[in-house]
């Protein structure tokens, strides 16, 4: 905030990035304010699609995020669908925006919108 106080904290443990390591799926804890867990972003196993569930503090799925088979694109944006908890209705999208050849090739930074 304006007083340099932390208002939200994200915690993601180091895990294997292989899509075949089912036991090592990615998980992000969201705390707001820090110390109070408000939810989780958890990777769901799929052989070729990036899929995630958004869960509230009690572990109930509130949204699903589904990406394309290839989550990189040359000279274009990549869209991830935000779906209802049951996965039937599109409620929004997250776009990974193209940021130029050098930044895309030599960094792991992304612009999301």
Beta bridge partners of 78: 96
Contacts of 14 (CB under 8 A, 6+ apart): none
Spatial distance between the Cα atoms of 74 and 98, rounded to a whole number of angstroms: 8
pTM for the structure as a whole: 0.78
- What string of pLDDT tens digits covers the 113 residues of the chain? 899 889 999 998 887 666 566 667 889 999 999 999 999 999 998 888 889 999 999 999 999 999 888 766 666 788 899 999 999 999 999 987 777 777 767 776 777 76
DSSP code of residue 45:
P
> Residue 89: its pLDDT value, please?
96
């Amino acid at each position: 905030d304006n007083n340099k106080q932390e208002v939200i904290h994200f915690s993601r443990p180091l895990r294997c990035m292989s899509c075949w390591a089912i036991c090592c799926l990615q998980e992000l804890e969201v705390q707001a304010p820090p110390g109070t867990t408000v939810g989780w972003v958890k990777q769901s196993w799929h052989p070729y699609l990036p899929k995630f569930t958004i869960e509230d503090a009690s572990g109930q799925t509130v949204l699903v995020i589904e990406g394309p088979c290839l989550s990189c694109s040359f000279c274009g944006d990549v869209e991830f669908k935000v779906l209802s908890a049951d996965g039937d209705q599109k409620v929004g999208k997250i776009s990974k925006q193209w940021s130029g050849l050098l930044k895309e090739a030599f960094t792991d930074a992304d612009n999301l919108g």
